Amino acid sequence: MNAPSAAQQLYADDLVVGRTFEGPKRTVTDQSFKLFADITGDNHPIHYDPEYARQTRFKKPIAHGLLLMGMTALGGTAMSDCFKESMIALARQDCRFCNPVFVGDVVFSRFELESVERRPNGDSALMTYAVKLIKEPDVVVLEGHHAYYIRYRTA
Complete domains list, the chain, with CATH: 12-151 (3.10.129.10)
pLDDT at 64: 97
**To 5 degrees, how large is the angle CA 88–CA 94–CA 95?**
140
Q: What is the pLDDT along the chain (155 residues), one digit of tens a residue?
A: 555 555 699 999 999 999 999 999 999 999 999 999 999 999 999 999 999 999 999 999 999 999 999 999 999 999 999 999 999 999 999 999 999 999 999 999 999 999 999 999 889 999 999 999 999 999 999 999 999 999 999 76
pLDDT at 2: 57
124-135 and 106-118 beta bridge pairing: antiparallel
> What type of residue is 97?
F
pTM, two decimal places: 0.91
Distance CA 135, CA 154 (A): 39
pLDDT at 52: 98
Distance CA 96, CA 103 (A): 20
Distance of CA 92 to the CA centre of its chain: 12
In the chain, where does DSSP find H-type helix? 30-40, 50-54, 65-70
pLDDT at 69: 97
144 neighbors 72 (Cβ within 8 angstroms):
yes
